[in-house]
Amino acid sequence: MLIASTSTIHGSGYLEYLLDRLKIHFKSTEEILFIPYARPRGISHNEYTTIAVKAFKNIGKTVKGIHEFESPETAITNAKGIFVGGGNTFVLVSQLYKNSVLLPIKNAIKNGTPYLGTSAGSNICGLTMHTTNDMPIVYPPSFKTLGLVPFNINPHYLDPIEGSKHMGETRETRIKEFHAYNTPPVIGLREGSWIEVKGNQLTLKGTLEARIFEYNKAPYEIATASDLGFLS
């Protein structure tokens, strides 16, 4: 699994910063199943899939959207590679439950199907979607998600800006609120960072540190290339 904070970093195209890594990650397949359910900016599934098609064309891969199949569950079962894009996590999780594909995705990954998640597609890799940044515009049947890593994820993690006059909550404040009611660890993934999962090995990748939040502990930083297994 590749669990990325974002699909696009400042000054680059869609997935451009990850393409070299994706060549290796999806080396065993020529076609990738794309799940566009998160619908960023409310765009259609077809429009979103077209964006993914253009990106993967750069590394010689073809992409087909899950909405193009008669049976979403069968599409997952037959997939040789899976990509779940970003957008609104509430919308994504609602559609995953509605189409009965959350468990098939989990089983496919456990059986060795390579998976890429960005933003909302990364949120769902954690224990729950409680640490999403998104507005609750729809109500999913459950906040439980794939649970394939032993922590929650906060993608697009932002540090407080010194001197800012913004009066709203910082990301750190929101995660502390989460820990007032929940105990799982949370990883704040900064833009351009990702978690690489190979079997039981979990490693922070990218050029930036990540911020770790553990229940009843002060938050702290870990360096890129760090093993995240200690959070199990």
Average pLDDT for residues 185-210, to the nearest whole number?
97
User: What percentage of the chain exceeds 90 in pLDDT?
Assistant: 94
Q: How does pLDDT run across 141-186, given as a tens digit for each residue?
A: 999 999 999 999 999 999 987 777 776 789 999 999 999 999 999 9
Average pLDDT for residues 1-12, to the nearest whole number?
95
Residue 163 has a pLDDT of 79
Query: Residue 142 contacts by C-beta under 8 Å, 6 or more apart in sequence?
Result: 93, 97
Q: Which of 32, 94, 37, 19 shows the shortest CA–CA distance to 63?
A: 32
Q: How does pLDDT run across 48-66, given as a tens digit for each residue?
A: 999 999 999 999 999 999 9
User: What percentage of the chain exceeds 70 in pLDDT?
Assistant: 100
Q: How does pLDDT run across 109-122, given as a tens digit for each residue?
A: 999 999 999 999 99
Return the bridge partners of 10, or none: none
- Residue in 119, 122, 179, 193 annotated catalytic: 119
Residue 27 has a pLDDT of 97
Catalytic site includes residue 44: no
Evaluate if residue 14 carries a pLDDT over 90: yes
Asked if residues 232 and 185 have their Cβ atoms less than 8 Å apart, the reply is no
Asked if residues 32 and 83 have their Cβ atoms less than 8 Å apart, the reply is yes
The tokens for 35 are: 């799940």
Residue 89 has a pLDDT of 98
Average pLDDT for residues 188-213, to the nearest whole number?
97
Rounded to two decimals, the pTM is 0.96
What is the SS3 assignment for 128? strand
Residue 166 has a pLDDT of 75
What is the SS3 assignment for 196? strand
- Residue in 67, 122, 134, 193 annotated catalytic: 134
Catalytic site includes residue 119: yes
Q: How does pLDDT run across 83-96, given as a tens digit for each residue?
A: 999 999 999 999 99
What is the SS3 assignment for 154? strand
CATH of domain 2-231: 3.40.50.880
Q: Alpha helix locations (H) across the chain?
A: 19-25, 45-57, 72-78, 89-98, 102-110, 120-123, 171-179
Domain boundaries, the chain: 2-231
Q: pLDDT confidence of 198, banded at 50, 70, 90?
A: very high
> Strand 210-213 to strand 220-222: parallel, antiparallel, or no bridges (unpaired)?
antiparallel
Evaluate if residue 222 carries a pLDDT over 90: yes
Catalytic site includes residue 134: yes
**CA distance linking residue 200 with residue 218, whole number of Å:** 26
